Amino acid sequence: MYSPKVTLTLERDFYVDDLLKSTNNKENAVLLCKDLRKILGRGGFRHTKWMSNGQEVVDSIPPEEQAKPSVTVNLEDGSEFERTPGLQWNIRDDNFFFEVHLKEKAPTRRGVLSVASSL
């Protein structure tokens, strides 16, 4: 009934209730969103906060299911960043990155483990 791409996305690309997925082109993304919304709806789930760097993809999602912008703007180069689970997403360049803010800890085994686990 649904393509293997849809079922594999359900099995492998969700983390709790967050989905991060990349497609080859916008047309595939629109179809994948449509099919995911259908299959999730059959199970009684309504996935909200959809977001994409492609306007065509965003336009294919009903407004009430789209993510409300919570964009951070870098004033130096004008790039926009959106938070994703554990990462920052540069929407314009379509890159993921993370920032590390290490706190000074004592150079003990406990301090090293504390810093390592904070990453």
Q: Where are the beta strands (DSSP E) in the chain?
A: 14-15, 18-19, 72-73, 80-84, 87-90, 95-97
Residue 58 parent element (H or E): helix 55-59
What's the pTM value of the predicted model, to 2 decimals? 0.66
Q: Tell me the domain boundaries of the chain.
A: 1-67, 69-119
pLDDT digits (tens, 9 = 90+) for 85-104: 677 877 777 888 877 777 88
pLDDT digits (tens, 9 = 90+) for 43-86: 999 888 888 888 899 899 999 998 876 656 565 665 667 777 67
pLDDT digits (tens, 9 = 90+) for 3-15: 899 999 999 998 8
pLDDT reported for residue 20? 83
